[in-house]
Amino acid sequence: MTKIVLIHGGWHGGWCWKKVAPLLRAAGHEVYTPTLTGLGERGHLLSPEVTLDTHVQDIVGMLEYEDLREVVLVGHSYGGMVMTSVADRAADRLTHLIYLDAFVPQDGQALADLADPTFYANLEASARLKGEGWRVPPPPLERWGITDEADVRWMQPRIGAHPLKTFKQAVRLTNVEATLLPRTFVYCTDKPAGDSLAPLAKRLRGDTSWRYRELASGHDAMVTAPNEVAALIVEPMS
């Protein structure tokens, strides 16, 4: 049995792993799907003060209070920002990092530095126009590859605004031990032009220090390709 913690991306919540978590549990793994502050069922805590540090502490606190060790940490999209900082603070509790179509920051980088400039500029403009300057409304579900009617009906009422500060805060990485953790990058290939992660995927594809995989799906693969995502998560454990 392996302990697996699934970290959702921006605008989502722990609910987005609903299709993947049962598959992992059926395979005998212990699975956690925390929701970050201000999102999902914790949306009532959304405020201008929520930062990347807030979300990092959400996960570090869960690892500590559940006393989890030898954990496989999975981060989707913005969750890669959170996961990278969690690993820096709690490397001794982790065994593998899996970036599911997720950002992989270096020290001093924020998501704003890594995202496609046009896409990110649109997010900030949307926050100014519709979110009082600090709440970022979600992009259309189609951008994440969600087109099935049932998935749209399920997701639409659950997707919520995201705090802008989390996109603007840079990570601070100082723990050499964290850089030694085994890492996997899963790139979802069926996405629109201007994909922020395409340059990263191109670089990591040839980096032998990473385990690199591709998935023929849209960005929200945990919704549209749950069986394939579950298989990729357990692959390094076999």
Distance CA 123, CA 112 (A): 10
What distance in Å separates the CA atoms of residue 12 and residue 215, rounded to the nearest whole number?
20
Say how far residue 162 (Cα) sits from the centre of its chain. 13
Q: Which of 47, 77, 126, 217 is catalytic?
A: 77
CA distance 62 to 57: 8
Would you give the distance in Å from CA 53 to the centre of its chain?
Answer: 15
- Those residues with Cβ within 8 angstroms of residue 220's Cβ, 6 or more apart along the chain or in another chain: 16, 76, 144, 145, 146
Is position 47 annotated as part of the catalytic site? no
Secondary structure, 3-state, 130-194: HCCCCEECCCCHHHHCCCCHHHHHHHCCCCCCEECHHHHCCCCCCCHHHHCCCEEEEEECCCCCC
Q: Are 10 and 55 in contact (CB under 8 A)?
A: no
Q: Which token pair is 169?
A: 């805060």
* Residue 164 near residue 136 (C-beta atoms within 8 A): yes
Active-site residue numbers?
77
